[in-house]
Amino acid sequence: MSGTPVKVIFPSGMLGSGFDAATVPRGIDLGATAIAIDAGSTDSGPFYLGADQAKSARAAIKRDLRLLLTAARGANIPLVVGSCGTSGTDRGVDWAAEIVEEISAEQGLSFTLARVYSEQSADELTAALRAGRIHALPPAGDLDEETLQRCEHIVGLMGAEPMMAALTGGADVVLAGRASDTSMVAALALINELPAGPAWHAAKTVECGDQCTTNPRGGGVLVEIDEHGFTVAPLDPETSCTPASVAAHMLYENANPFRLLEPSGALDTSSATYTALDDRTVRVEGSRFEQAPHRTIKLEGSASTGYETMSFVGIADPAVLADLDRWLARLEEMTARRVYDSLGIDAGQYMIHLRCYGNDAVLGALQRPSEAPREVGVMMRVRAQTQEDATAIAKTANPLLLHLPLDGALHLPSFAFATSPAETDRGATYEFVLNHIIDIDDPLDLFRIKFSEVRHD
C-alpha cells in the first residue's frame, strides 16, 4: 500500500443535502478508490448537539446513503462518513447505522461495518480538567466543572487516526461520530502512507464538494492524492476547478487562510502551488504538514439554556415606524409590568429579545441609520426556565404586540399577526459552551470503534 495513490469521490458538502445521481458513477468510471462524505457541522447551531437530533430529514439521508453505499459495494471500495447525525453523537452514529442496515437489506449488500464513537462523558472530562489536561482556545476563558456538567452532550472532534484504525481493521463502511471536515479524505490517503501535506490539503479542498469549483451546483469532485501532491477536478462536466477556485477554498470557514489546525498538527499551505492541468483540472503541490509535539482533541458541548416561545407581528403604521425605538422600549416596559402583575414572574427569571425584520434585525447596531422602513416584522423571543413560563409570558405580551399604541396616540391600533396562534413554542434551546482542547497520549484515546458484519446475500 505504501505510497499508492488514492482517488476519492467527495459527492457533496453534506450528506442529505442531495447531489446529482450521475456524480458517483462518473467517479467510479474514472477509477475512484474510495468515497467520503461529511454528514455534520456545528454551523447550523447548538440545537442539533444539545437535542441530539439530525438536521437533515431521514429520507434525504437514506437517499444519499443508498447511492453511495450501492456504488461503493459495487466497486468494492470503502465508504467513509464523518459526523453522523449532524453533531456526531453516539446516537447519531447508531441512527446512521440503522439506515445503512435498512438499505443493505433492501439492496442485498454484505460488508464489514465500523462505527467510531466520539461522545464524551462530563465526569471523565472533569477528571481531565482537574489534571490540567483541558485548555481554552481563543476567545474562550478557562473551563469550569459546572460548564461541563451543564452540557447535554459533548463530543470530541476526531482526526484521521480513528477512521484509519477502522479501515485497517477491515471496515468496508465507516460511520464516524464527530470528525473534522477533512479527516475522512485524510484518513483514506494516510492509510496508504501518503505524505500528510497533500493528504490534509486535498481533504480541505474537497470538504464542501464542488464548492472548490467555478460553478458549485451539487455535482461533487474527484481528488487524486499521490506522493507529491494532489489533482482535483469536478465530477459535473459543466463546471471547472481553476487555480483560483481551488486556492480560494482555503479561505472558506477558516479563520487563518494559510494554516488549518488538526488534532495531529497543522496544515501549512503558504508554499503551495496551484497549476491548471487543463481547463477544469488543478494540480497542487508544496503543501506541508507540521506534526504537533503533542496531540489534542477539540471538544464541542451544547448546554440547555431553557425554553423559548416566539411571536411575530407585522407593522406598517407609518407613525409607529417613524418612532419605532420608542415603541419597542414601551413594549418591553409594558410587557415586564404585565408579566409581573399577571403571572408573578420577576424580570430576572426570563429574557425577551426583540428584533425588527425590515429595520435592523440582521445587523443590529452595525446597521446604518436610515429613513423609517416601510414595514417591519417584530420578532419577540421569550426565554424562560420552563416552557410553561415562556408560553405564558408570550401570551401575556400578545395583547401588547397586537394593540400597543405609541405614547399619546389617539386611537388604539391593531397590528398584523402573521399566524394564529401568534405564539410558537420553540421547546428546549441550547448554546455552545465549549471551545477547548484536551491533551491526549494516543490518537485513539477518547474514541471507540465497534465492528459488525452486515449480511444480506
Give residues in contact with another protein (CB under 8 A).
42-47, 137-140, 244, 247-248, 251-258, 305, 308, 351, 353, 355, 361-366, 368, 381, 383, 429-432, 435
Q: What is the DSSP letter of 26?
A: H
The residue among 265 and 301 lying less far from another protein, judged by its C-beta, is 301
The residue among 112 and 435 lying less far from another protein, judged by its C-beta, is 435
Q: How far is 288 from 293, CA to CA, in rounded Å?
A: 16
Strand bridging mode 229-234 / 221-225: antiparallel
Nearest distance, CB of residue 251 and another protein, angstroms: 5
DSSP structure string for 59-98: HHHHHHHHHHHHHHHHHT--EEEEEEEET--HHHHHHHHH
Q: What is the DSSP letter of 372?
A: P
Cell of 226: 499521490
Q: Which amino acid is at 64?
A: D
Nearest distance, CB of residue 254 and another protein, angstroms: 6
Nearest distance, CB of residue 308 and another protein, angstroms: 8
The residue among 138 and 408 lying less far from another protein, judged by its C-beta, is 138
Nearest distance, CB of residue 228 and another protein, angstroms: 20
Q: How far is 133 from 127, CA to CA, in rounded Å?
A: 9
Nearest distance, CB of residue 433 and another protein, angstroms: 8
Q: How far is 183 from 223, CA to CA, in rounded Å?
A: 14
The residue among 233 and 352 lying less far from another protein, judged by its C-beta, is 352
- Cα distances (angstroms) measured from residue 68 to each of 23, 77, 164, 173: 10, 11, 19, 10
Of the candidates 102, 19, 8, 107, which has an alpha carbon nearest to the alpha carbon of residue 60? Answer: 19
> Is residue 188 within 8 Å of 166, Cβ to Cβ?
no
The residue among 32 and 272 lying less far from another protein, judged by its C-beta, is 272
The residue among 200 and 430 lying less far from another protein, judged by its C-beta, is 430
List, as own/partner pairs, every contact residues 135-141 make where C-beta atoms lie below 8 angstroms and the sequence separation is at least 24, other chains included: 135/296, 135/436, 135/437, 135/438, 135/439, 136/435, 136/436, 137/298, 137/435, 137/436, 137/437, 139/435, 140/434, 140/435, 140/436
The residue among 149 and 256 lying less far from another protein, judged by its C-beta, is 256
Q: What is the DSSP letter of 109?
A: -
Cell of 268: 501549512
Of the candidates 340, 409, 436, which has an alpha carbon nearest to the alpha carbon of residue 141? Answer: 436
The residue among 239 and 245 lying less far from another protein, judged by its C-beta, is 245
Nearest distance, CB of residue 305 and another protein, angstroms: 7
What are the beta bridge partners of residue 430? 304
Nearest distance, CB of residue 370 and another protein, angstroms: 12
Nearest distance, CB of residue 435 and another protein, angstroms: 5
The residue among 362 and 412 lying less far from another protein, judged by its C-beta, is 362
The residue among 175 and 260 lying less far from another protein, judged by its C-beta, is 260
Which run of H or E residues covers position 450?
strand 448-454
Nearest distance, CB of residue 61 and another protein, angstroms: 21
Nearest distance, CB of residue 71 and another protein, angstroms: 31
> Is residue 162 within 8 Å of 447, Cβ to Cβ?
yes
